[in-house]
Amino acid sequence: MKRSNEVYIEDVLESIGLIRKYAANVTGAGFIGDPELQDAIMRRLEIIGETVKHVPEKIRNEFPKIPWREISSMRDMLTHEYFGIDEKRVWKTTREDIPDLERKMKKVLKFIRG
54 included as an active-site residue: no
10 secondary structure, DSSP code: H
3 secondary structure, DSSP code: P
Catalytic residue among 54, 75, 95, 103: 75
User: Between vectors from CA 104 to CA 39 and to CA 52, what angle results, nearest 5°?
Assistant: 55
Catalytic residue among 44, 54, 60, 80: 80
Contact 13, 106 (CB under 8 A): yes
80 included as an active-site residue: yes
Catalytic machinery residues: 75, 80
